[in-house]
Amino acid sequence: MATTRAPAVLVEGLHKRYGDKRAVDGLDLRVEHGEIVAVLGPNGAGKTTTVETLEGFRRADSGHVRVLGEDPARAGRAWRSRLGVVLQDNHDLAEVTVGEVVRHVAGFYPAPRDPDQVIDAVGLREKVSTRTRALSGGQRRRLDVALGVVGDPELLFLDEPTTGFDPQARHDFWDLVESVRAQGTTILLTTHYLEEAERLADRVVVVAHGHVVAEGAPADLGGRGARRARVRWTVDGVRHEEATDTPTALVARLAAQVGRPDGEVPGLQVLRPTLEDVYLGLIGGTGTDAHEEAAR
Amino acid sequence: MTTTTGTTDPRTAPGARPTAPALPGLARLAWSRTTYEVVGFFRERDAVVFVFAYPILMLAIFAAAFGSDSEVLPGSGVYFPQYFLPGMVATGVMLSSFQNLAISIAAERDDGTLKRLRSTPLPPTAYFLGKTGQVLLTAGVQTALLLVVAAVVFDVPLPTDAGRWWTFAWVFALGTAAGAVCGVAYSSVPRSGRSASPVVIPVVLVLQFVSGVFFRFDELPTWMQQLASVFPLKWVAQGMRSVFLPDEARALEPAGTWQHGATAAVLAAWFVAALVVGVRTFRWRRRDDG
């Protein structure tokens, strides 16, 4: 892809180990400006380690990392002022009100957004004078996003932002993320919810065992083979199954060949693999042996 | 803001905004942090009451126990409330600097406050200046309250000459500064926010006992006096005795003098040593966070 700007995030061959455990093991990642990219993977896949390396909290053992053109391990205040970070599990900020903390944090940035507009945007207008101690889990996460975007970042990191949400809160939160992206903010999201990646991301990067096992638009994930329809039918009590790219044609053929007089094919099922099936295939199919081979 | 003129090739400055606005200045950020910290401190009502009332309560208890109208030495004109006042001032300084910071920073490390701040462009210096501002303000208010109660309720005579208030000012400032940086350094010792109080408070209590806050320092065993001399609290208490007790009370000091030079030297040494250790060991994240 030809771009005039360097990508917002560029990671090549990232490695990080904790003791004997390879948390990140040869991970590559590229996020263009204006994109929403979801890093999807099970717990322990290395998502948070990767994101926290990009945020400058951790140092890579090896690999090339550039975020907004700089090395996070060395970048300074000016670089941080162009980032928004929503961390995974904070339970700080007890005694200050929503309005106070958003205004306070806005003051750290050279060209912040209007704190009141940000509070409106995250839907916390009614809670502006409430101490953060009294917010619900979903409201706290909205406040975290408000604090992440109040500096008007070019790039926003969201690390597992909806873990523990009820379905309604999750949908409301997704609307919020889409409104942030509508303002042109590049977003790198980690999640272990497939639905979340599918709903929000332009591109999904599936991570397992510390490296990327697949990437692409949510609809294309896993390639065509992974998305082939499966057609099942029964002849004389024996089940048959066939994977095909042209299920309609196959069903028409079956109707002609094995259909009953009324044209029905006994036991006919046409199964489209869901994204979840594809995803489970991807993260389950990466044997430890295979990835250790690749690491050598 | 992100528009570029035709002559500018974006590739020469990848990702850079053409006109980067200046980052906010340190003084403004330090002031902003100070007000934020002070507001947060005063909203923890239970802690506020404890921090402010503790030295006053202790003064009241010891005055009652030893008798407000009995002299420390017969004929000296120094009654027990006056004798204990300097120790309570020193205790207050240690509570609002060392204990306050050691516990609050450990808690802020545990609950993610520090990590959140680290992800913003706030310079670490502004964070520490904010803590310093909060400590100075709370220590100042606490000491003022204590002095007023001592003067009004216990009839303790307060010094009237500028020289003694100057001594008060530098002992207070140096003691608070040393206590604060020791608190920052010690905040890395507790393994979690919840273990902070049990790990910090015994240190404070033991220091209070061996440093002569609750007893006449000269009546403590010599080994205990020597042990206390290693730590800052003894010197803050002794410096405060030189402010609030008449000069004749020097006779009650083991050294026979107020040792202002040694006081300044020990407190400054603690300040520098704790600063070096604190800067080298400070962590923005929990221990279990990689």
Tell me what pLDDT residue B199 has: 86
For residues B52 and A27, what is the distance between their CA atoms, to the nearest angstrom? 54
Set of chain A residues whose Cβ sits within 8 Å of the Cβ of B43: 95-96, 131
Residue B95 sits at the vertex; the CA angle it makes with B94 and B96, to the nearest 5 degrees, is 95
Which residues of chain A carry a pLDDT beneath 70?
1-4, 222-227, 285-296
Instruction: Write out the H or E segment, with its range, that includes residue B116.
Output: helix B113-118
For residues A102 and A127, what is the distance between their CA atoms, to the nearest angstrom? 12
Tens of pLDDT, residue by residue over A39-76, are: 988 888 888 889 889 998 888 899 899 999 899 988 88
Tell me what pLDDT residue A290 has: 34
What would you report as the CA-atom Rg of chain B, rounded to the nearest whole angstrom?
Answer: 23
Instruction: Write out the H or E segment, with its range, that includes residue A116.
Output: helix A115-121
Set of chain A residues whose Cβ sits within 8 Å of the Cβ of B286: none
Residue pair A204/A219 in contact (Cβ under 8 Å)? The answer is no
Among residues 42-71 of chain B, which lie with CB inside 8 Å of chain A? 43-44
Which residue of chain A has the CA closest to B20?
A110
Q: Which residue do the tokens 């990835």 mark? A: A291
Strands (E), chain A: 9-18, 21-31, 36-40, 62-67, 83-86, 155-159, 186-191, 203-208, 211-216, 229-235, 238-244, 269-271
Residue type, A251: V
pLDDT in tens, chain B (290 residues): 444 444 444 434 444 455 667 888 889 999 999 999 999 888 888 778 888 888 888 888 888 887 767 777 777 777 888 888 999 999 999 998 999 899 889 888 888 888 999 999 998 888 888 888 899 999 999 999 999 998 898 888 888 899 999 999 999 999 999 999 899 889 888 888 788 888 888 888 888 888 888 878 888 888 888 888 889 998 999 999 888 888 888 877 887 888 888 999 999 999 999 888 888 888 888 777 75
Which of A56, A96, A109 faces B40 most closely, judged by CB atoms? A96
Residue type, A148: G
For residues A223 and B17, what is the distance between their CA atoms, to the nearest angstrom? 38
For residues B242 and B260, what is the distance between their CA atoms, to the nearest angstrom? 9
| A-interface mutation test, from B2, B8, B17, B23, most A Cβ less than 10 A away | B23
For residues B261 and B163, what is the distance between their CA atoms, to the nearest angstrom? 15
Tell me what pLDDT residue B84 has: 86
Which of B112, B121, B123 faces A92 most closely, judged by CB atoms? B112
Write the DSSP assignment of A137-168 as a string of letters: HHHHHHHHHHHHHTT--SEEEEESTTTT--HH
Which residue of chain A has the CA closest to B126?
A108
End-to-end CA distance of chain B: 38
- Of A96, A175, A189, give the one whose Cα is nearest residue A142: A175
Judged by CB atoms closer than 8 Å, whether chains meet at B121 and A109 is answered as yes
Q: A75-88 burial by CB neighbour count: b if 16+ within 10 A, else e?
A: beebbbbbbbbbbb
Which of A81, A100, A154 faces B23 most closely, judged by CB atoms? A81
Residue pair A95/B37 in contact (Cβ under 8 Å)? The answer is no
Say how far residue A121 (Cα) sits from the centre of its chain. Answer: 22
Tell me what pLDDT residue A130 has: 92
For residues B31 and B40, what is the distance between their CA atoms, to the nearest angstrom? 14
| B-interface mutation test, from A16, A57, A145, most B Cβ less than 10 A away | A57
For residues A212 and A223, what is the distance between their CA atoms, to the nearest angstrom? 14
Residue type, B285: R
Strands A83-86 and A62-67: unpaired
- Of A265, A205, A177, give the one whose Cα is nearest residue A40: A205
Judged by CB atoms closer than 8 Å, whether chains meet at A92 and B40 is answered as no
CA distances to A88, A107, A146 from A112, rounded to whole Å, are 23, 7, 11
Tell me what pLDDT residue B157 has: 86
Residue type, B251: A
Cα dihedral B105, B111, B115, B120 sign = negative
Report the topology of domain A9-220.
Rossmann fold (3.40.50)
Which residue of chain B has the CA closest to A59?
B290
Residue type, A245: D
DSSP state of A36: E
For residues A207 and A26, what is the distance between their CA atoms, to the nearest angstrom? 11
Residue pair B90/B233 in contact (Cβ under 8 Å)? The answer is yes
Does B115 touch chain A if contact means CB atoms closer than 8 Å? Answer: yes
Residue A121 sits at the vertex; the CA angle it makes with A120 and A124, to the nearest 5 degrees, is 50
DSSP state of A131: B
Instruction: Write out the H or E segment, with its range, that includes residue B137.
Output: helix B124-153
Tens of pLDDT, residue by residue over A200-238, are: 999 999 888 888 888 888 777 766 666 678 888 888 888
Strands A186-191 and A155-159: parallel
